[in-house]
Amino acid sequence: MRVEFLGGVRTVTGSATLLEKGSLKWLVDCGMFQGNKEYEKRNWNLQSYQAKKLSFILLTHAHIDHSGLIPRLVEEGFRGKVICTKATLDLCEVMLQDSGHIQEMEAEWQNRKGKRAGKGEAIPLYTREDAEKSLRSFQTIHYDEMIPLADGLKVRFQDAGHILGSAIIEIWVDEAGDQKKIIFSGDLGSSDQPIVRDPSIVEEGDVLWLESTYGNRLHKTREETVQELLKIVQEAIAHQAKVVIPAFAVERTQNIIYTLGQFIRKGSIPQIPVYIDSPLAISATEIFKRNPDCFDQETKDLLMGGDNPLEIPGILYTRATEESKAINEDPRSAIIISASGMCDSGRIKHHLKHHLWREESHIVIIGYQAEGTIGRRLVDGASTVRLFGEEIAVKAHIHTLGGFSAHADQKGLLDWISHIRRPQLEVFVNHGEEKVSTELSQLISERFHFKTTVPQWREKRVLFGDGETGVSEERVGKELPPEESFSVLFRHLDRAYKRLRRKLKREKKRGVEIYDSGWLKELEEVSKKLEELESEL
């Protein structure tokens, strides 16, 4: 079997892996690259996805960083099925069309700007209509169902506890008479997240793709985080100020609605206006209400008891733009939940423009902020940010609350992987920033002695094949940007060093003392050279 890492490696966006078994080719996830111009360029060059030759796409969940390039791939000739859970399809219906709309708006904006600069016409990556058309390729399956997809190939989706409908995908393949199992963790939820269930446990597998968004961090507990949010809201109410919460439309928004609903139901805060100012979040909340079979027990109990966990007395859903603009004219305290979650597009930008410079306002960051986004700049303590071409001072209170995350933290990831009892498990650590994936990879290798790798973008590998799998030759060419060439080289060096150490140790154990002055001299020179290079930097 061959695989190619097409995205979601050394970055959190663009998740996609190409798998090939004989002439059968398929993808697991087909996400959009976001957050930085260099990455976004990749969305336009999908040749290596081989759209026309793919038999199917297995989709872990609806987030755009996993599903966002599906309409584009259909445009490029993909005629197979996109296989996912029903809730994922429901969410993709609104999210992909919304994404198409954003692409159209962006192209329009570029064109307005470009015309003035005398540039050529910008076209959208795909349109709302393309997105709608692509939905016809979707085919839904149930959790825990074993589905044969081709000769010697079957799959099963299990709940990943990340967002509604999210899945861990298990793939069984027959390889030369042997059955092997591949696992894609997808994005894994944290275990005390409300509404959705905890991630399913997987105990067996030969190869694992493991996400690492928070692979080097620990979240505060949900209870601590809830208390922090309560304090922030109470303080805002005391000063008649507003609380602005940038939130991803799916899961995080519903998570916050659930939490604020509890504050009001318990009487911890008075009934104040809570605006859900994101058409996408409103649609997503409706989809949540339509899929109660995906809820965890606590949420089901609330529903049975007559409390809708996704309703708050005083909640105001604003779909129209005029309503959205009026929110900030109201002098009373209010809570504004709006998208995008990383603050770089959508209505949240208007609310930030109104509130960042006000000392009394509170901005509560509850989700992951990718490098290069406005949200990340706020978390990193920027004193000004640029919004709509204007430099805005950051005077408001900026709070970062990690405990609302829809992702498992380092401990959650290690706990989850600890259930897999296969000493020969090979782990590809993906869906994380380079430094984070590398840290988690090292930790897993030390703790569980699994073979771990942080793959390169466009790296190709042979799975279950004879001999050492490795970086494909084409990757070591000189077309690589220097930092990538270095990391390829370092991996080779690292491996060679480890192999040599292992062999020497083995020999020593066998009682063979290797003492070769020629060897020692050569190694001494390598070591000296490395020190020299390091001091030159």
The contact set with Zn ion (CB under 5 A) reads: 63, 65, 187
Of 31 and 261, nearer to Zn ion (C-beta) is 31
CB of 13 to Zn ion, least distance (A): 7
Q: Which residue has the tokens 């050569």?
A: 522
Query: Which CB atom, from 10 or from 63, has the smaller least distance to Zn ion?
Result: 63
- The CB-of-410 to Zn ion minimum distance in angstroms stands at 17
> What are the C-alpha distances in Å from 135 to residues 39, 139, 159, 226?
25, 9, 22, 37
SS (HEC) of 464-531 = CCCCCCCCCHHHHCCCCCHHHHHHHHHHHHHHHHHHHHHHHHHHHHCCCCCCCHHHHHHHHHHHHHHH
Rounded to 5 degrees, φ, ψ at 502 are -60, -45
C-alpha span between 152 and 24 (Å, rounded)? 11
* Closest of 385, 226, 247, 245 to residue 327, by C-alpha: 245
> Which stretch of DSSP H or E encloses residue 4?
strand 2-7
Give the whole-angstrom CA distance, residue 409 versus residue 219.
6
Nearer to Zn ion, 143 or 263 (CB): 143
Residue 528 corresponds to which tokens in the numbers above? 């000296």
For 18, the token pair is 């190409």
Give least dist CB 230 to Zn ion, A. 27
- Rounded to a whole number of angstroms, the minimum distance from the CB of residue 68 to Zn ion is 10
How far the first Cα of the chain sits from its last, in Å, is 41
Kindly tell me which of 21 and 407 has the beta carbon lying closer to Zn ion. Answer: 407
Complex with Zn ion: residue 65 or 98, whichever CB lies closer: 65
Residue 137 · residue 72 · CB < 8 Å: no
Round to whole Å and give the CA distance between 353 and 15.
32
**Bridge partner residues of 119 (DSSP):** none
Least separation in angstroms between residue 65's CB and Zn ion is 4
CB of 187 to Zn ion, least distance (A): 4
Minimum CB distance to Zn ion, residue 186 (Å): 8
Nearer to Zn ion, 69 or 334 (CB): 69
Of 285 and 361, nearer to Zn ion (C-beta) is: 285
By the 8 A CB rule, do 186 and 66 touch?
Answer: yes
**Cβ 244 vs Cβ 362: under 8 Å:** yes
Question: Would you say 184 or 295 has its CB closer to Zn ion?
Answer: 184
Whether the CA torsion 170, 173, 11, 54 is positive or negative: it is: negative
The first and second tokens of residue 422, run together, are 């296969």
Rg (CA), the chain: 25
- Residues 333, 362 contacting (CB under 8 angstroms): no
Q: Pick between residue 66 and residue 242 the one whose CB is nearest to Zn ion.
A: 66
Query: Closer to Zn ion at the Cβ: 346 or 367?
Result: 367
Contact 164, 135 (CB under 8 A): no
Number of H helices, E strands in the chain: 16, 22
Burial tier of 269 (Cβ tally within 10 Å: 0-12, 13-18, 19+):
middle
CB of 222 to Zn ion, least distance (A): 18
Residue 159 or 187: the one with the smaller Cβ distance to Zn ion is: 187
The sign of the CA dihedral 354, 359, 365, 370 is: positive
Taking the complex as a whole, the smallest distance from the CB of residue 137 to Zn ion amounts, in Å, to 21
- What minimum distance in Å lies between the beta carbon of 284 and Zn ion? 13
Smallest distance from Zn ion to CB 333, Å: 32
**Which CB sits closer to Zn ion, 63 or 86?**
63
Nearest distance from C-beta of residue 138 to Zn ion, angstroms = 18
